[in-house]
Amino acid sequence: MMASQIDDHPAVYTQSSASAANTAASSLASDQAAIQAPFSRFDSSPTAGEFDDDIKRFESVEEHLQERMLSLMLEFRVWSQSRPAHESQVCGEKVLVECEEIERRELEQERARESLLGFINSVRNALAALHAL
C-alpha cells in the first residue's frame, strides 16, 4: 500500500497490525509452551519386539533348511553307496555303445570326405581337359 492509502484508512491498518501482533504473540506463547514441555520417552519395545520376532522366524527357517540339507546329503550318500554293481555295469555298457556309435559316425564322415575330395579332383581334371582343348 502507498502512504496516502494508509493515511486514508487508519482504522483498517491499525486493526490488521493489532491482529497480526496478537497472532504472533499467541504463536510465540504456544511455541514456548511446546519447547518447555518435557518430551515423551521413546518406547523401543514395539520396534525391538518386531525385530526379535523376525530373528526368531529367520532362525527357525535356517534351522529347518539345515535339517533338510543334512537329510538330503545323508540320503544321497546312502543311495550312492547302495547302488548295485549291475546298475554300474549297465551304465558302463551304455557309455561303450555311445562311444562305438561316435566312432562309426566318424568313419562315415571320413568316407564322405574322401568321396567329396575325389569328386572335386575329377571336376578339376575335367575343367583342365576342357581348357586344353
Each residue of 112-129: pLDDT tens digit? 999 999 999 999 999 999
The grid cell for 60 is 527357525
Identify whether 120 is part of a domain: yes
Decide if 13 contacts 6 (C-beta within 8 A). yes
Q: Are residues 96 and 117 in the same domain?
A: yes
Interval 57-88: pLDDT, tens: 888 888 988 999 999 999 888 877 877 777 87
Is there a domain that residue 105 lies in?
Answer: yes
Domain annotation covers residue 65: yes
pTM for the model stands at 0.36
Contact status, residue 40 vs residue 47, Cβ threshold 8 Å: no
Question: In a 10 Å sphere around its CB, with 0-12 CB exposed, 13-18 middle and 19+ buried, how is residue 1 labelled?
Answer: exposed
115 within domain boundaries: yes
Does the residue 33 lie in any domain?
A: no
- Domain assignment of residue 92, given as a range: 85-133
Residue 133 and residue 89 share a domain = yes
